[in-house]
Amino acid sequence: GDAVLKRLTTLLQAKLRSADSLARWGGEEFVILCPNTGRSTAAMLAERLRREVAMAKFPEAGAVTVSIGVAECEPGESWEQWFERADEALYRAKTGGRNQVQAAPETPQRAGPEQYVVANFVQLVWHPAYECGNELVDRGHRQLFADANELLSAILSEHTAEQVNAIVDRLVADILQHFCDEETVIVDAGFPAAAEHIVLHRALVDQALKLTGAYRTGTKGVGDVFQFLAYDVVTKHMLGADRVFFDTLRPQAAAAGRPGKRLSTRSKPPQRQSTPAMPDPLA
User: What's the pLDDT at 9?
Assistant: 92
Residue 233 neighbours by CB under 8 Å, 6+ apart = 144, 175, 204
pLDDT tens, 70-97?
A: 999 988 889 899 999 999 999 999 988 8
User: What's the pLDDT at 115?
Assistant: 36
Q: Are 230 and 124 in contact (CB under 8 A)?
A: yes
Do the strands 30-33 and 21-24 form a parallel or antiparallel pair, or are they unpaired? antiparallel
User: What's the pLDDT at 178?
Assistant: 93
| Domains delineated in the chain | 2-110 (3.30.70.270), 128-273 (1.20.120.50)
Q: Which residues of the chain have pLDDT under 50?
A: 108-122, 258-277, 283
Strand-pairing partners, residue 62, are: 58
User: What's the pLDDT at 74?
Assistant: 86
pLDDT tens, 179-191?
A: 999 999 999 999 9
Could you count the other beta carbons within 10 Å of the beta carbon of residue 70? 27
d(CA 149, CA 45) in angstroms, rounded, equals: 17
Residue type, 90: L
Q: What are the φ/ψ torsions at residue 174 (nearest 5 degrees)?
A: -70, -35
User: What's the pLDDT at 27?
Assistant: 83
Quick one: three-class SS letters along 138-194?
A: HHHHHHHHHHHHHHHHHHHCCCCHHHHHHHHHHHHHHHHHHHHHHHHHHHHCCCCCH
The model's pTM is 0.52
* The dihedral sign for the CA sequence 190, 193, 195, 199: negative
- Centroid of chain to Cα 60: 39
User: What's the pLDDT at 44?
Assistant: 83
